[in-house]
Amino acid sequence: MAAASSCAGFCRAGWQPCFQFVRHGSKAVTRHWKPMHFLRQQLMAVTEYIPPKPLIAPECRPPVKIDEEEHGFVKFLRRQVEQTFRENNMIAVCQYNYAPGGEIALMRHRLRKYNIHAKFFPNEVLRAVLMESKYKNLLPLFVARNLLLVSPETRAREMLRVLKNIPQITLLGGCIDNTLMSKEGFNNYAKLLSMATTQGEVVGALSLLPSQTSTLLQRGPIHLASLLDQYIKQQTSSGAEVKEGGDS
CA distances from 210 to 156, 219, 222, 223, 226 (A): 36, 14, 18, 20, 24
Provide the pairing of β-strand 179-182 with 90-96.
unpaired
CATH label, 72-190, candidates 3.40.50.620, 3.30.420.10, 3.30.70.1730, 3.40.190.10? 3.30.70.1730
User: Is the full-model pTM beyond 0.75?
Assistant: no
In the chain, what are the domain boundaries? 72-190
**Can you give the pLDDT of all 248 residues of the chain as single tens digits?**
444 444 555 455 555 555 555 555 556 666 777 888 889 899 999 999 888 888 887 778 777 665 555 678 888 899 999 999 999 999 999 998 877 778 888 888 999 999 999 999 999 999 999 988 888 899 999 988 899 999 999 889 999 999 988 888 899 999 998 889 999 999 998 888 777 777 777 787 777 777 777 777 777 788 888 888 888 888 887 766 656 655 55
Question: Quick check: 82 and 148 in contact, CB under 8 A?
Answer: no
Name residue 8's amino acid: A
State the Cα–Cα distance between residues 177 and 179, nearest whole angstrom: 5
CA distances from 42 to 1, 45, 49, 51, 103 (A): 69, 5, 14, 19, 82
User: Is residue 144 within a helix (H) or strand (E), and if so which, with residue range?
Assistant: none
